[in-house]
Amino acid sequence: MAELSPGLITVLLLILGAEFVNGWTDAPNAIATVVSTRVMRPWRAVLMATLLNIAGAMSGKAVAATIGKEIIRTESIDLATVAAAMVGIIFWSTLAWRFGLPTSESHALVAGLAGAGLATAGPSVLLWVGWKKVLIGLLFSTFLGFFGGYIIVMVIRRLFRTSTPGRVKTLFNRLQLVSAAVMAFSHGSNDGQKFIGAFTLALLLGGVIGEFVVSLPVIVLCSVVMGLGTSVGGYRIIRTMGIRMVKLESYQGFAAEAGAGAAIEMASRLAIPLSTTHTINTAIMGVGASKRFSAVRWGVVGEVVTAWILTFPVCGAIGFGVALAFKHLR
């Protein structure tokens, strides 16, 4: 077993930096609705999200394995490849956070790894088995998120159509605590595992471990760093999703979280890395559109979708450029 070299330490710090930025831009998705409906105060929601992210990340390792072993050929890359991918993620996600846009760290990570891998070893470095899961994740996050939120909120309206608004609010204020917890747990079980996979991959490439095995200390370290990022800068994203995009009542927040959480948890158990950002965003859109199409501020949605679309090419291009520069510097 090799010791931690300066190069490996640098790469691990870059991964933790990307995980911290993930806390700024992605982890707030898990708690955006429960804060925006004023069911929980921000600091309590952040604490809950941090603890349940850790629990979710510890609930399985399938998604971490997909990221670490099935996106690019590990035998064809090196630590510089992983470092180049992290540079792209940190740059793009920080820029998007500055404008309050929730980017997908899932897509940033796979795009960055792909771009850096292409610069290092060419097209043969890409593995279809992992990319097929990424494409399935796109379908999960878009359609299951939107229609999950839409259907659940319609069922709630039908079941409680004769109830008073006060009774409905009281009930769903309590139920949203449960749905927010489910959302935070599912975020950890899927999104929390992605950078854990990258961290473990770096340890493998650096010779610290002999095979790809995710350890408990890595899970805890990455999860806590993500929670710290959420506590520092998460409110910008919470405001965009829960306030600017559509104004939510507690029963609508419950519907969005329940629909998104179910879709994410299903993907996690199938080892599918999907975007929690996309899933909760589309669930919120589905909830808003169920009332009336104009209830959703589609101008804000357009800004968010633009950030989604740009994530793949921008992070891929940065990863490619930085990896190419590293390659020529050796």
C-alpha closest to that of 186 among 246, 92, 129, 259: 259
Helix (H) or strand (E) holding 191: helix 165-205
- 273-324 residue pLDDT tens: 888 878 888 888 888 778 765 555 666 667 667 767 788 899 999 999 999 9
What is the pLDDT at residue 139? Answer: 85
d(CA 97, CA 239): 12
pLDDT at 292: 64
What are the CB-based long-range contacts (under 8 Å, 24+) for 42-48?
42/234, 42/235, 42/238, 43/231, 45/180, 46/227, 46/230, 46/231, 46/234, 48/180, 48/181, 48/184
Side chain identity at residue 93, one-letter code: S
In the chain, pLDDT over 90 holds for what percent of residues? 33
pLDDT at 13: 96
* Closest by CA position to 27, among listed 52, 59, 8: 52
At 239, the pLDDT band (50, 70, 90 cuts) reads: low
Tell me the pLDDT band of 51, cut-offs 50, 70 and 90. confident
Euclidean distance between CA atoms 126 and 106, whole angstroms: 16
- What pLDDT is recorded for position 328? 79
Query: Over 70: is that where the pLDDT of 11 sits?
Result: yes
Q: What is the mean pLDDT of the segment spanning 222-247?
A: 66
In this prediction, residue 123 carries a pLDDT of: 93
Q: 6-21 burial, b for 16+ CB within 10 Å, e for fewer?
A: eebeebbebbbbbbbb
Confidence (pLDDT) at 79: 94
- Inform me whether the pLDDT recorded for 208 exceeds 80: yes
Split at pLDDT 50, 70, 90, the class of 209 is very high
**3-class secondary structure, 144:** helix
User: What rounded mean pLDDT belongs to the chain?
Assistant: 84
> Which whole number is the average pLDDT over 168-189?
88
pLDDT band at 187 (very low <50, low <70, confident <90, very high): confident
pLDDT of residue 243 exceeding 60, the answer is no
Residue linked to tokens 């009774």: 167
- The one-character DSSP state at 59 is T
Q: List C-alpha distances in Å: 134 to 100, 227, 287.
A: 25, 25, 25
pLDDT digits (tens, 9 = 90+) for 14-30: 999 998 887 776 666 66
Q: Which of 36-50, 143-157, 159-173, 213-227 has the lowest mean pLDDT?
A: 36-50
pTM score of the predicted model: 0.83
Read off the pLDDT of each residue in 171-193 and give the average, rounded to a whole number. Answer: 87
Q: What backbone torsions phi and psi does residue 282 show, to the nearest 5 degrees?
A: -70, -30
Q: What is the model's pLDDT at position 303? A: 64
Contact status, residue 244 vs residue 38, Cβ threshold 8 Å: no
72-107 per-position pLDDT tens digit: 999 999 999 999 999 999 988 888 777 766 667 788
What pLDDT sits at residue 12? Answer: 96
pLDDT digits (tens, 9 = 90+) for 103-162: 677 888 999 999 999 999 999 999 999 999 998 988 888 888 899 999 999 999 999 988
